[in-house]
Amino acid sequence: MNKPLCWLAVLAPLLLVGCASVRTLDAAKPGAPVIYAGTRLDWYSLQGGCCPLERFGAEAPAYPALDLPASALLDTLLLPFALAVELGVSLGVSGGL
């Protein structure tokens, strides 16, 4: 494995911990945005939003401008699932044992 890919494999989990999209995945706050939630949380923080926890059910990342491109990419990849949730389609997915 070459060095850039090795570093990416090591750093990716660390970077995703602060990702707004990952934080909003398990927020489960009624009425919170689902479609592009991480991107919207970053944008809200950049615009000086006062209460991200009440609005999105998750805290904003420490550096929203740095997180915005990664959140936009991840939200785009998760868009089919977010649309299904918004439309009320049950995907029958469950976690745990």
**5 located within any domain:** no
**95 located within any domain:** no
Q: Is the pLDDT of residue 44 over 70?
A: yes
Amino acid type, 57: G
CB atoms within 10 A of CB 78: 18
The rounded distance, in Å, linking the Cα atoms of 86 and 13 is 27
Ranges of beta strands (E only) in 1-97 are: none
Range with lowest mean pLDDT among 8-17, 34-43, 63-72, 85-94: 8-17
**1 located within any domain:** no
**13 located within any domain:** no
Residue 42 structural domain: 18-83
**67 located within any domain:** yes
Each residue's pLDDT tens digit, 46-79: 999 888 888 888 888 888 998 899 899 999 998 9
**49 located within any domain:** yes
